[in-house]
């Protein structure tokens, strides 16, 4: 009986180990990958050899680089309601057909070498060795948006506040779309090099240089704390997050995840053949990792036993609106799990006057045709979140 029991336990342990591990994505073996993006069923990966596309949850990728930079790496992606954008060694590129073709969109960039790209509301931001650039017409033209003498490596936003990480000058924020930048380095302990920055709700995470690790701010960058809790020290190059977890990718120590906003971390590296991670992404079912030399890997979220029911997390913390008051439109920034959720706008008499679906993580609700007044926006069905909107 003991022999049978031991054999059974050994089988179970081997089964769990084989199940709870990273899987390499076909079509990327041996490749340098530096950036990732998910847009519905479309999963993008970019690196030294250009842009790649998967339509089967990152199981298989194929080169999707027609018109994109074919000289140097694709270092970043972002998206809006109409386009996918890349940040590359040769400037910005835009696709209207989910990566089938790309068009150069670099007019106004004084240095084409990009470090990061971001969509924030109706604006695009491109960062690189000569600072920050902004486009208000979906990349057709770019204009300088500050830090022109600073090597900027990464960018994120919380509503209408921008945050950037630099090479040698720490972290900055702007509350006026780049017209002015304020250094926010309290608590960084002399760390000045940052290659990755992530906003999870109103919490910021920044990847420090070698010998440091991941820093966290809960007050819009006013103060930073170096995190421990099982997280390896070292340089960090990539993050991904949703309402349930934050995932961090290190330079040499693999991937870590936290379900309590960074207080405690767990390493998930079984199956990874390269522990240097340049970017991370989440889709509905997988964590996706871009590695330095071994391509893309995916890890099933089901291994972490996380709930995926929208009713199990707080809608209030998953949604933010800006600007409010507004004159024309409301930008709805939401967690990816909100996509597909219904919304309704009511007038001050309680009459439903506008409805639709939240189809993007950064959705736009047009209100320019409505008269001035106070409106109510309701998002969700069984578990609703209600917002007051002032239309000027």
Of 75, 65, 154, residue with least CA distance to 104: 65
Alpha carbons within 13 A on the beta-carbon side of 207: 29
Buried/exposed code over 242-263 (b: 16+ C-beta within 10 A; e: otherwise)? bbbbbbbbbbebbbbbbeebbe
Confidence (pLDDT) at 336: 62
pLDDT in tens, 4-19: 333 433 333 333 333 4
Give residue limits of the domains in the chain. 21-304, 310-391
Alpha carbons within 13 A on the beta-carbon side of 227: 29
35, 56, 247, 251, 326 from 53: Cα distances, Å? 12, 9, 22, 24, 37
pTM for the model stands at 0.77
- Residue 323: asked if its preceding bond is cis (omega within 30°), the reply is yes
pLDDT in tens, 58-78: 999 999 999 999 999 999 999
Burial (0-12, 13-18, 19+ Cβ within 10 Å), 113: middle
According to DSSP, the residues that pair with 79 across neighbouring strands are 84
As a whole number, mean pLDDT of residues 15-37 equals 83
Confidence (pLDDT) at 392: 87
pLDDT in tens, 331-385: 888 766 666 677 889 887 777 888 777 767 778 898 888 999 988 888 876 456 7
Determine contact, residues 69/90, Cβ cutoff 8 Å. Answer: yes
User: DSSP readout, 322-387?
Assistant: ESSSBSSEEEEEE-GGGTTEEEEEE-TTS-EEEEEEE-STEEEEE-TTSPSEEEEEEE-SSS-EEE
Q: Is CATH 2.40.50.140 what the domain over 310-391 is classified as, yes or no? A: no
Beta-strand runs (E) in 213-361: 214-217, 225-226, 236-241, 246-250, 255-258, 266-267, 277-282, 286-291, 296-300, 319-322, 329-334, 341-346, 352-358
Given a cut of 70, whether residue 299 has pLDDT beyond it is yes
pLDDT in tens, 80-107: 989 999 999 999 999 999 999 999 999 9
According to DSSP, the residues that pair with 381 across neighbouring strands are none
As a whole number, mean pLDDT of residues 234-244 equals 92
Of 362, 364, 288, 343, residue with least CA distance to 84: 362
As a whole number, mean pLDDT of residues 149-164 equals 95
- 21-304 CATH choice from 2.130.10.10, 1.10.20.140, 3.30.70.3040, 3.40.50.620: 2.130.10.10
32 pLDDT band, cuts 50/70/90, is: very high
């Amino acid at each position: 009986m003991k022999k049978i029991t031991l054999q059974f336990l050994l089988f179970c342990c081997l089964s769990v180990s084989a199940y709870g591990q990273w899987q390499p994505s076909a079509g990327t073996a041996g490749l340098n990958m530096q950036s990732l993006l998910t847009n519905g069923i479309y999963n993008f990966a970019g690196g030294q050899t250009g842009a790649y596309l998967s339509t089967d949850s990152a199981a298989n990728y194929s080169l999707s680089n027609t018109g994109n930079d074919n000289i140097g790496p694709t270092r970043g992606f972002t998206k809006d309601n109409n386009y996918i954008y890349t940040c590359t060694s040769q400037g910005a590129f835009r696709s209207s057909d989910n990566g089938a073709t790309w068009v150069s969109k670099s007019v106004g960039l004084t240095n084409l070498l990009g470090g990061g790209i971001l969509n924030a509301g109706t604006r695009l931001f491109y960062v690189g060795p000569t600072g920050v650039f902004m486009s208000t017409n979906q990349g057709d033209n770019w204009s300088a948006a500050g830090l022109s003498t600073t090597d900027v490596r990464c960018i994120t936003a919380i509503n209408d506040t921008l945050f950037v990480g630099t090479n040698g000058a720490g972290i900055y924020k702007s509350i006026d779309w780049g017209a002015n930048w304020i250094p926010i380095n309290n608590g960084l302990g002399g760390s000045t090099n940052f290659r990755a920055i992530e906003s999870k709700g109103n919490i910021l995470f920044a990847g420090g240089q070698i010998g440091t690790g991941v820093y966290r701010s809960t007050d819009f960058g006013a103060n930073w704390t170096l995190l421990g809790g099982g997280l390896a020290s070292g340089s960090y190059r990539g993050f991904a997050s949703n309402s349930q977890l934050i995932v961090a990718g290190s330079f040499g120590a693999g991937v870590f995840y936290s379900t309590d906003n960074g207080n405690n971390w767990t390493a998930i590296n079984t199956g990874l053949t390269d522990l240097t991670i340049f970017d991370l992404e989440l889709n509905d079912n997988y964590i996706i990792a871009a590695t330095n030399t071994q391509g893309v890997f995916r890890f099933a979220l089901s291994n972490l036993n996380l709930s995926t029911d929208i009713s199990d997390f707080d809608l209030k913390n998953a949604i933010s609106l800006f600007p409010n008051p507004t004159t024309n439109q409301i930008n709805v920034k939401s967690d990816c799990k909100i996509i597909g959720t219904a919304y309704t706008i009511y007038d001050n008499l309680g009459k439903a006057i506008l409805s639709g679906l939240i189809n993007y993580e950064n959705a736009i609700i047009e209100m320019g045709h409505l008269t001035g007044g106070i409106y109510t926006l309701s998002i969700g069905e069984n578990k609703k979140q209600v917002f007051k909107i002032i239309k000027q």
